Amino acid sequence: MPLPAASRFAFAADLEICRILNGLWQVSGGHGAIDPARAIEEMFAYHDAGLTTWDLADHYGPAEDFIGVFRRQFAARRGAERLSEIQAFTKWVPSPGPMTRRVVEDAIGLSLRRMGTERLDLLQFHWWDYADRRYLDALQELARLRDAGRIRHLALTNFDTERLGIIAGYGIPIVSNQVQYSLIDRRPAARMAAWCVAHGVSLLAYGTLLGGLLSEKYLGRPEPGRADLTTASLKKYKQMIDAWGGWALFQELLAALKQIATRHGVGIANVGLCYVLDQPAVAGVIVGARLGLAQHIADNSRTFALALDDEDRAALDAVLARSRDLLAQIGDCGDEYR
């Protein structure tokens, strides 16, 4: 069954995306061994289900190469004229250093070759150290490559609201910022979302399902120990739960989510995804795809048939009101990486 029109978002005038993006961090290691041939076949299954948008990065192991192979096989099976059906958003995460024209061009050229395309749909730029203002040099060079047609749109990942303002002040158009956003981590709502709405910038949300912790699997379960956290995602987002309020409060949240999910005939994950998709400035949520190891295509697709009401939101707010303020503990979006 095709996805409803609500599953699509006009990300830019010339670029439409699926609002659930397939995340390829999971192929970079720490989430189980991925068989490349099986992974590519799985990518066809996601695409055919309407989940046509991919999120990846230059440092996500073979992720860019997978896109390149997928594109070649897609063109061979279905025709090169249909390649525009695929949206592949990569990232450039450089080590600190001079951001010369040559450095920037070499990095983008490598991604273009690996992904088998002449133009990147979206290049999401990350920078580790705000005190090193050479991130502005990099962005100005990336903007030049966009103007030259090698990048369709320029974006950011894990930048804070202050830096968004600085970049805008330099006249560098940015279409999106990718940040952690979930029922647990609602920092984007504090200041970033309003800035983005005012300046026409979208948010792409990751960590929305907490690496799988936001699911029936963990409802009523004792707190997992280190040995139980078998993927990099589980380890990462269990730490976020600890900072947010701890396992006992998280169980209360899962119980509230389960009641809402049962009332609507969906799963806990669907409610968590829908909650974030409903937030101002959010264009899409990124859900990890462990290609060939675990598949949740049908489950995730049910999100687009769900509409949360005031009763649902009140039930969630009653739990969330007793959590800690992560903005006060960690700082603005992305500050955990600096």
Give the bridge partners for 282, in sequence order: 203
Q: List the structure tokens of 275.
A: 């909650």
Which residue from 108, 180, 175, 111 is spatially nearest to 138, judged by alpha carbons? 108
Domains of the chain, each with CATH number or no CATH? 8-211+280-306 (3.20.20.100)
176 within 8 A of 283, measured Cβ to Cβ:
yes
Give the pLDDT of residue 33: 81
Q: Is the pLDDT of residue 56 over 70?
A: yes
Neighbours of 196 (CB within 10 A): 23
Give the pLDDT of residue 28: 81
Residue range 134-146, pLDDT digits in tens: 999 999 999 999 9
Q: What is the mean predicted confidence (pLDDT) over 61-88?
A: 97
pTM of the model: 0.96
Q: Is the pLDDT of residue 295 over 80?
A: no
Q: Beta strands 202-206 and 20-23: pairing type?
A: unpaired
Give the pLDDT of residue 1: 60
Q: Beta strands 20-23 and 53-55: pairing type?
A: parallel
Q: What is the mean predicted confidence (pLDDT) over 148-172?
A: 98
Stronger pLDDT, 177 or 293, i.e. the higher one: 177
Residue range 10-44, pLDDT digits in tens: 999 999 999 999 999 888 877 778 888 999 999 99
Give the pLDDT of residue 247: 98
Which residue from 116, 125, 119 is spatially nearest to 40, judged by alpha carbons? 116
Q: What is the DSSP letter of 99?
A: -
286 within 8 A of 206, measured Cβ to Cβ:
yes
Amino acid at the residue 278 = D
